[in-house]
Chains A and B, each alone.
Chain A
């Protein structure tokens, strides 16, 4: 473990935690442009988080300690996930400890704790939000795993940095299998991050909520952490997507400071493009009924499995 690797690692975590609300703000900005209205500043998520940190927390008197510690666990899990995903360099000391499958498990841990905390208070909205979240989660997880398996099969490893290093250096060609899995991954990203075809992040109607319904009982610093963790989750998913499908520009191999200097603006560019693409997808699609969500995710799963089969048969 060299000093440079350690530096890359800490830079990655700091950038992920610091830039995640900005990414969310940028998506909101793009959505507002597409809807022909004036957007709040891109810094609005930071202001919200700051405001929430200054408030006094109110907690239901039926709450157990689980309810109090969940925001810290969720935020910690997302930060740890950010440490494993190669967003700038591929030589990360942390990634020796956990591969892509462990990453999926880490995201699942956060989800389980969120669902438990939502049920903890015993309000109706909290528990139905938790149930819906678990339904979406159990359908999205196999699809995400399949996506990762396809990339692992191509590069013969389950370690994310090794996968992106392999894909970045492979000869340029047409890979229908990767194209299919990219579609599947995008669908999983939308479902897992409570974006529009499955859940509307801007809704005020409790009956249609999934993610928001789980946060209804949280306030002040707990809510701030939960919202920050949600932004971080979206950021992480975007970075997983980059690592698998557009790995070019990562500081691969032994890192030199100059490679990092190239990687950071490239990451910013990729995030800006991905954010506007996400806003476009969200603006052109309508929210599905909850009962249609299994269909949506089954399609994602099918895309991922088709990618796997096409890779096995055609070798592409």
Chain B
């Protein structure tokens, strides 16, 4: 590579493009490297006969399965089913959980009225009520959405309530001192203080919603990625089982990363209020 001086200082050697690219995306770069290394070890271990490929598959076999099922489109209905379940459950949990959390955090009476009830449902392992949900709502979309909702709803509420309570007294005092109305106090102090907490709740909720989708599908379903994993597991098609797992993992990473990026934008002043 030719060295072209661009800096004013003759000592400043220009950094090669590749290295600059890596530096600006360090997290991503090393993440991918880690991924590839583990994949290679897995592959090599399979080829060396350290375990039975039919039980744990190998990355290349998973890739073959992916090409096959994505090529034929056989996996698309399952993907769509799971995605719809996830979205409906997750967004209804946000849509109800955030406003409810704000109400609970703001009004003592609302808190007293619902907290025992909510805590009761929260403490119950959701798997315990899954059979009931399936009896009442069937094995279709509804029961999955409700299951996902139940799993995610509480983390959203708990974080939102914690956010409202985190509003610093000195910030509330400022609003009161200048004679802010209750509504303005809410808009200018409570809501911004709560926002980072809501994002944390959302980040936790994405993981839980994903768990909800798969657990619900594995209990009883006729479509979805959980069902796909369950079905091919029964046929000992471990490459397809692994494919399902990889798809879930990828989806989880993308969601988590998305929320993390939004969180990062608020990190600067978030530190300041704690």
Mutual binders A and B: no
